Amino acid sequence: MIGKLSGVIDTIGEDFVVLDVHGVGYLIQCSARTLAQLHVGDAAKLAIETQVREDSIRLYGFLTEAEHEWFRLLQTVQGIGAKVALAIQGALSPEELATAIARQDKAQIARAQGIGPRLAARLVTELKEKLPASLTLGHAAMGDGGAGRGTEEPAAAQDAVAALLTLGYGRAQASDAIEAARRRLGEADTAALVRQALRQLSR
């Protein structure tokens, strides 16, 4: 499977790019938000999700690991496939997605093409509880290289900060939000800290 590709943007289509990697052109489907940041002739490095079907092999590209993680997570919701996941990501950044889910803002999710009120409601309901656990497992070293605020922070707080980094928040913003969540909840687990921090960030 292909996990990452680096090359030069050869072509940009309506929903894809062709990335020239040492003379081989890879057709990679991307969200509108990603496509808007790419330009023909520029060097680019994309995280790749490879999906193999009986009749096709498709590549999906992302500029950040946060976007890649969201693409996978969105498809755990019934009724959301790759095309709809990309449409959601084209309408909302990782930070906006996290905020909408924390606030249970169905209207914000429904901004994406192909998302009706019923599907938007299902998405925010299912991901509200699933989001923290799925994004904190194994992500302590993501974001800015896993540099923490200090060894005095318990592991749950460090993992919670890493989860917010994965969602697209900045280091200072994530650290402050988790610190506030710790003051409110005490020695809570990672998932509880992330949920509380997202509620605070959505205000």
Give the per-residue pLDDT at 135.
Answer: 44
- CATH class of the structural domain 65-128: mainly alpha
Q: If you search the block for the tokens 């755990």, which residue do you land on?
A: 76
Token pair in block for residue 14: 């309506």
Token pair in block for residue 179: 């610190």
CA distances from 69 to 18, 41, 168, 191, 198 (A): 22, 27, 11, 17, 17
Domain boundaries of the chain, sorted by first residue: 4-62, 65-128
Give the per-residue pLDDT at 186.
Answer: 83
Give the per-residue pLDDT at 145.
Answer: 38
pLDDT per position as a tens digit, 76-104: 998 899 999 999 999 998 888 888 887 88
Q: Name the band, by pLDDT with cuts 50, 70 and 90, for residue 190.
A: confident
* Helix boundaries (H) for the chain: 32-35, 65-74, 82-91, 94-103, 106-109, 117-136, 155-166, 171-185, 190-201
Give the per-residue pLDDT at 44.
Answer: 95
Task: Evaluate if residue 177 carries a pLDDT over 60.
Answer: yes
Contacts 24+ apart (CB under 8 A), 161-166: 162/136, 163/132, 163/135, 163/136, 163/139, 163/190, 163/194, 164/98, 164/194, 164/197, 164/198, 164/201, 165/66, 165/139, 166/65, 166/66, 166/69, 166/94, 166/135, 166/139, 166/142
Q: Name the band, by pLDDT with cuts 50, 70 and 90, for residue 158.
A: confident
Round to whole Å and give the CA distance between 19 and 6: 8
pLDDT per position as a tens digit, 129-148: 766 443 433 333 333 333 34
Give the helix/strand (H/E) hosting 24: strand 24-29
pLDDT per position as a tens digit, 9-35: 999 999 999 999 999 999 999 999 999
Q: Name the band, by pLDDT with cuts 50, 70 and 90, for residue 196.
A: confident
Give the per-residue pLDDT at 173.
Answer: 86
Establish how many alpha carbons lie within 13 A of residue 164's alpha carbon, considering only the half-sphere containing its beta carbon: 33
Any residues with CB less than 8 A from the CB of 31 and at least 6 apart, and which? Answer: 62, 67, 86, 87, 89, 90
Round to whole Å and give the CA distance between 114 and 71: 15
Give the per-residue pLDDT at 137.
Answer: 35
Task: Evaluate if residue 183 carries a pLDDT over 50.
Answer: yes
Task: Evaluate if residue 149 carries a pLDDT over 50.
Answer: no
Residue type, 129: E
pLDDT per position as a tens digit, 46-77: 999 999 888 889 999 999 888 998 999 999 99
- State whether CATH 3.90.226.10 applies to domain 4-62: no
Round to whole Å and give the CA distance between 81 and 86: 9
Give the helix/strand (H/E) hosting 19: strand 16-21
